Structures are given as structure tokens and as C-alpha cells.
Amino acid sequence: MLTDPAAARAGSLLTIDLEAIQANYLRLKKQLAGVECAAVVKADAYGLGAAQVAPALWKAGARTFFVALPDEGICLRKILPEAEIFILGGLMQGAEEDYLHNNLRPVLNALHEVERWAGLARAKGLQLAAALQTDSGMSRLGLSEQELAGLHAEEGLLRHLDLRFVMSHLACADEPDHPQNREQLQSFREARMAFPHSRASFANSSGIFLGTEYHFDLARPGAALYGINPTPGKANPMRPVVTLQAKVLQVRSIEKGRAVGYGATYRAEAPKRIATVALGYADGFLRHLSGQGSAWYKGTRLPLAGRVSMDVTGLDVSALPPDSLRPGDLVELLGPDQGVDDLAKQAGTIGYEILTALGRRYYRIYRGG
């Protein structure tokens, strides 16, 4: 029973199991069999709270962390003063001094970034740490073959850099049989030959399960840490991390033909009981779930009735015994009956979006860690 008045005021409760995140990290580390396992905590640890998640991962043994943007790195540095922190988004122009002041390592994604970071190192008489990303076929971030050739042509450019590792990113690792995986592996192998003294990093969460040839020296899992299945189509090897529960505001009986919600998109085909719960798209509960998502209560599935509104959502609770669901009771949106990947499938999206969309209005409960 929660005694915090803030829990009573909240419309929904979000519980994050830090012990499960730690267990997932150790599971991945075991899969890597001696290869270093980093942790990706970008987007506020995939929406779960980097201030709580990052220290739990540090306790589990993670020492290398990745975020997307410098501001995320600055926040993380305050939490983990001894961690090695890399910025996946690269070297933001005009923010170079912020990287230096906060001991952040850019992932250099283009030749002009290498030139700027090396130029700063030369001007200050320092050797600055960084990672170097090559484009192995995703055509998103990383030096192209032409840029790599240009890099090697600029003699001495890397002399001022402490190149921590060379990396690339898999586009189709969650599809083990996709030919792109082998193509990217070969491309990355060829690119890293020019950096024989640098470590290499290639595998993301799903890449860890493609086999040891994808592991190299450092893996960068993110989604799997938070319970998203890195092996779609197979049993999820990760522990679930998140439970989301919404409070029932009221339950009403409606007659056949009665509409529910905006646009009158739902009309009862028979007498129904409808529960309105305190959860909506302002909380990150995706509007695309309208008419196709579901909640659960004590093992019974409760289909969404009508559109997801900003603050509330309707549920068809007719399958429950009368008076078994009352105002103040909690229904499950994420939990034992419905995981992150299940809800994502209903919304036509991926678990990443479900987690990173989680809003600020939930009363958050952290377990373990």
C-alpha cells in the first residue's frame, strides 16, 4: 500500500525494476563471454530515468556508457563521475568546450568532426579521447569509404587523438537471417583493418545474439537492458522491467448503440460496462492504440473502447463480474499479462517507442538497485 500523497494524486503508476535491469546486464555480459559490455542510457535511459538506472548499471559492473547528446552526457557525468561517457550524436559544432569540461568523448561520425576534434587537441597541446564510427551500410552516421580514404590521406590527423575504439552500427540485427548483417560485418572488418591498434565495437542488443564474430571488443546494448526482446520470434531472454498501472476513475453501464469517446468511433453492439481510466496520450500512451489496444485486470483482457484521449481512456470491462472493478482500482497496461513488445505490436510500433514515450505524469516507483 502506497502512503505517499503524490501516489494518491497521480492518475497512473509506473514501476521500474532496477534489479531486473541489473540482471539483464549480467545476462548480456555472460552472453559476451569476456567481451566488455557497455550500457546505452540515451533518452533518459529509454524513458525509465537515467538518474536511477545508470547507478544501478554501474553497480552491476558497467563502466562505459553511451548517450545521444551532450546535454545527456553532462547530466550523466554528475551521476557517474568516474564513467567513460560517449556521445553517439558526434561532436556538436560550438559545444567542443562542453565536451572537454565534462570529460565527454565524442563518437566522430564524419571527417569534419575528426578534423575539428584533432584541431582542438593540437591547439591545446592535448591528446583527446574519442571513438570513430564507420558507415558499414546503414547510411546514417559514420565515415564513408571516401571519408576514410581522406582521413588516411591527412597524415598525422589521428596523432592528436586517443582513439578508444572504432565502431559501426547494425541495421538488421533483430533479423538474424537478413543478408545485411553479413554485408555489414564484412564492411566493418575491412574498415577496421586501417586501425590495427584500436579496439572495435559493433554489436547492439540484438547483435550480441548473432554470434561471437559480431562481438569484437565492446558491445553496446540498450533496449535489451530494459526488457525489450533482442531475439524477436524467440522467447525473450531478458527479464521484464516495467509495470504500468492506471487508476479507474469510474465505471458505467451503457445501452446498445451508445457511443464512447471522441468521434463516436466506438458504439456498443450490446449493453456494456465501460471503465474510464486516468491514462492518455499526454502520458505517452499512444493514440494509435485506439480501438485495438487492451488493458488487463486479474488475468482478464479489457479491450480499449473508443479513442485514447489526452488524459483518459475507455475500457470495455463487460467480461468482469459486476462490481468487481471499482473507482481507485488499478488496471495493468504493462506487466505480467502484457509486456512492452506486446503493447508495441498492438500499436503497430516497436518497444523502443513505447518506453521512450513514457511521460512525466506517472508516479514512479523504483524497486531494487
CB atoms within 10 A of CB 26: 13
Listed residue (325, 365, 268) closest to 1, CA to CA? 365
Is residue 306 within 8 A of residue 260, CB to CB? The reply is yes
CA distance 195 to 165: 9
Amino acid identity of 44? D
All residues at 6 or more sequence positions from 261 whose CB lies less than 8 Å from its CB, including other chains: 290, 305, 306, 307, 309, 314
Annotated catalytic residue within 59, 234, 256, 262: 262
* Cell reading at 175: 533479423
Long-range contacts of 210-213 (CB under 8 A, 24+ apart): 210/170, 210/173, 210/176, 210/181, 212/33, 213/185
Amino acid identity of 36? E
Residue with cell 553511451: 66
Query: Catalytic: 124?
Result: no
Listed residue (206, 118, 203, 124) closest to 163, CA to CA? 118
Residues 326-355 as b or e (16 or more Cβ within 10 Å = b): eeebbbbbbbebbbbbebbebbeebbbbbb
CB atoms within 10 A of CB 141: 17
Query: Catalytic: 59?
Result: no
Which string of DSSP letters, residue by residue, matches 23-40? Answer: HHHHHHHHHHTTSEE-EE
Relative to beta strand 36-37, strand 218-219 is: parallel
Q: What's the number of CA atoms in the CB half-sphere (13 Å) around residue 168?
A: 26
Annotated catalytic residue within 42, 46, 99, 297: 42
Query: What residues are annotated to the active site?
Result: 42, 262
